[in-house]
Amino acid sequence: MINGLIKAIANLEEETTLRLVKEKIASGETPLEIVEQCRKGVEIVGKRYNEEIYYLSDLIMSEEIFRRVMEILEPHFPKNTNQNKYKLIMGTIEGDIHDLGKNIVINLLRSVGFEVRDLGVDVQPEDFVKCVKETGASIIGISVLLTFSINSVKKVMRLLEEAGLRDNMTVVIGGYPVNERIREYTGADYYETDAVKAVELFKRIIMEKE
Amino acid sequence: MSEKMQQLYNERLRRYQAAIALEMPDRIPISAGSNYFAEVYAGHSNQEFIYDVNKWTEADVKFVNDFPEVDAFRSGRFWGPLHDAVGFNMYKLPGRDLSPRTQFQFVEGERMKADEYDLLINDPVTFLFERFLPRTLNDFKEPGSIRANMALIKGSIASGMMGGFMRNRSIYLQNELGMPNSMGGVFLAPFDYLADGLRGLRGVMLDVRRQPDKILEACDALIPDIVNAGLAIADPLRRSPIFLPLHRGAFPFLSPKQFDELYWPSLKKTMLMFIEAGYTIRAYLEGDWGPNWHHFRELPKGKVLCDIDVQGDIFMAKEELGGYQCIAGGMPDSMLILGTPAEVKERVKLLCETVGKDGGFIINGGCGIPYDARPENFRAMIDAVLEYGRYSDTFDFEIQMNPNPPAGWQPPKRRVATPWEVKLQELGGVKGDEELIRKNWEMLEHMAFNWLFSWMW
């Protein structure tokens, strides 16, 4: 059933969303229930984006609304409820400081329940591998916008191989210039150029892993 | 200029201009802004050619000697010391903030706040001095301080030097190498001024929903200053098109409705003003502009060369724009970087037989040749154009060159910080020819404003 909050988020009605969230808290709904409704709203936003009803400007708006909702909810979350979320590492490759696409994907992933470790931009290949060892994550998303940085992605793959971590690892590359040819060249498992489709891809990968 | 160089220059320029004007030259022209391919090809690191202007000429010479079939090109335009002089924080530079062998990169930021539209619109001088520049120039964080005053002085000296380098380079390219510039001068879409340097992408995208009227108002208010700033550095002889890199109008940043309402009207007005001043435009349609190509049919035919990026489909672009505007592109970056000469040759053949077959086409990568393209692939591209891209042995087209604007054309009002009337009053009148004094006063005031404006992206 689509309630008012889901609808408000789906329609990107900022003020209505925030008002409804506050009302729900006052009436005793738990933060988790509220987040779940927001997630459904964001899902509809993603669907509309796929159907070209919404565009990037709208995704950014939905992300902003979600951010403000989380700001309101933050103090109401019980402490230390680290649920078993699926862990994923993400970063923009060395030599590249573009983070718009990466941030959109990360925010969408978080809104659907992923735990994302964001390594930021200009990430050295070694640091991806180090983070795998630290977190035990088995999915890496690498954002690459500059063709010049493609070789660094290849290096990540080589280092994973050398560390014996390649077999259980799924590596997705994303960003405007990537295509099948570049995926093949780097040795990554998947590529995606669309933020919403990337989230679908990560969901599929998890299903396969489970 | 030697007669041979003059002849070579004319031949190249004529071919380039004919294609832009939708006439049929003798063959498909080859032209790019090099995107640092020329400089890297000459063996320099990105840091070297951003910090050492002598490297530009060295690279130009090597590039033109090795690839003389190229018809028009342009190499670097960033000079690191100018950025350092003022602490410009909108770009990360190779060798300073990034590895010496990588590309300079834009730094997103909110350098204008959501509630500053009215100030930008009504009083851009105050906006620049009190809000924008202290956030954008690290050496100008405290206006009035010695550090900040020095930044302004160093910055304007450096800009003057930079102008000199660019001018000398153009003259050298023309006289010694017979090579025309593929573009001269630059401007952005009004919306992109907001989306790039001022509000930043995130800021502007939120404004699209929260305060679209302010976006519209600001875009319109920016037009006269954009036109004047662009004209100030354009080719005085109107031979080369003015460069227009287009950013956030690409799919999927804005919805078609948002594009039609917020992006296009002010961009169209701005382009028309340059065209009315006697110029052509070279627009880099960066990213996928497919849904918005059709708009370029609204402009006078053969005035806007549209570079189609690799995310756009060059064949579709031809269908949409053929007969309206010349298009450039067609070579996938990944093929130039990772492919083989044989693949490149096949691709060029296909382009020549399809999009190129009846003119209005210039071969290029997606908005430039990637600087990590394999030189043998670039060579193969050129050879294949010579083999498959020939139309005829002779062609009629007169070079377009004119130091004067069309009759009756007037520039938009030139902005100054202190109007002459104020100065005149302070002087208590002048004793000789007032016009002679006023003209130069206003020229320098206006140039100073353009300098401030130039930091907006």
Domain range list for chain A: 4-76, 87-209
Q: Integer distance in angstroms from the first to the last C-alpha of chain B?
A: 36
Find the closest chain B residue to A54 by CA distance. B255
Before B252, cis peptide (omega within 30)? yes
A91 within 8 A of A128, measured Cβ to Cβ: yes
Which of chain A's residues have a Cβ under 8 Å away from the Cβ of B202?
60, 64, 100
Fold of domain A4-76: 1.10.1240
| C-alpha torsion sign, points B14, B16, B22, B26 | positive
DSSP A3-58: -HHHHHHHTT-HHHHHHHHHHHHHTT--HHHHHHHHHHHHHHHHHHHHTTSS-HHH
Mean pLDDT value across residues A138-160: 91
Which of chain A's residues have a Cβ under 8 Å away from the Cβ of B370?
147-148
ipTM: 0.83
Question: Is some CB atom of chain A closer than 8 A to the CB atom of B402?
Answer: no
Window 96-155 of A, Cβ < 8 Å to B? 96-100, 122, 146-150
Per-residue pLDDT band at B371 (split at 50, 70, 90): confident
B199 within 8 A of B424, measured Cβ to Cβ: no
Range name among A36-40, A179-183, B296-300 with the lowest pLDDT average: A36-40
Task: For residue range A152-165, list pLDDT tens digits in order.
Answer: 999 999 999 999 99
**Does the pLDDT of residue B449 top 70, yes or no?**
yes
Mean pLDDT value across residues B201-210: 95
Question: Is some CB atom of chain B closer than 8 A to the CB atom of A2?
Answer: no
At residue A84, the pLDDT reads: 57
CB pairs A-B closer than 8 Å: 78
Bridge-based pairing state of the strands B242-246 and A87-92: unpaired
The maximal CA–CA distance of chain A, rounded, in angstroms, is 55
Highest mean pLDDT range out of A119-123, A132-136, A203-207, B451-455?
B451-455
Mean pLDDT value across residues A67-93: 79
Query: What CATH class does A87-209 carry?
Result: alpha beta
Question: Is some CB atom of chain B closer than 8 A to the CB atom of A18?
Answer: no
**Does the pLDDT of residue A7 top 70, yes or no?**
yes
Per-residue pLDDT band at A81 (split at 50, 70, 90): low
Distance from CA of B333 to the nearest CA of A (A): 8
Question: Is some CB atom of chain A closer than 8 A to the CB atom of B192?
Answer: no
At residue B238, the pLDDT reads: 97
Which of chain B's residues have a Cβ under 8 Å away from the Cβ of A64?
202, 206
Distance from CA of A84 to the nearest CA of B (A): 31
At residue B429, the pLDDT reads: 96
Per-residue pLDDT band at B161 (split at 50, 70, 90): very high
Determine what percent of chain B is predicted with pLDDT higher than 70: 100
Q: What integer best gives the mean pLDDT of chain B?
A: 95
Which of chain B's residues have a Cβ under 8 Å away from the Cβ of A185?
338
Mean pLDDT value across residues A164-181: 91
Task: For residue range B239-295, list pLDDT tens digits in order.
Answer: 999 999 999 999 889 999 999 999 999 999 999 999 999 999 999 999 999 999 999
At residue A38, the pLDDT reads: 87
Distance from CA of A28 to the nearest CA of B (A): 30
Per-residue pLDDT band at B133 (split at 50, 70, 90): very high
Instruction: Look up residue B119 and give its two tokens.
Output: 């100030």
B327 within 8 A of B306, measured Cβ to Cβ: yes
**Does the pLDDT of residue A82 top 70, yes or no?**
no
At residue A6, the pLDDT reads: 94
Mean pLDDT value across residues A95-123: 86
Per-residue pLDDT band at A83 (split at 50, 70, 90): low
Task: For residue range B82-123, list pLDDT tens digits in order.
Answer: 999 999 999 999 999 998 988 889 999 999 999 999 999 999
Instruction: Look up residue B383 and give its two tokens.
Output: 């050879």
Determine what percent of chain B is predicted with pLDDT higher than 90: 89
Equal CATH topology for A4-76 and A87-209: no
Which of chain B's residues have a Cβ under 8 Å away from the Cβ of A155?
none
- Give the distance from CA B114 to its chain's centroid: 27
Fold of domain B1-30+234-413: TIM Barrel (3.20.20)
At residue A80, the pLDDT reads: 52
Mean pLDDT value across residues B220-249: 96
* Site from A60, A146, A152 to mutate, B interface, most B CB atoms within 10 angstroms: A60
Per-residue pLDDT band at A1 (split at 50, 70, 90): low
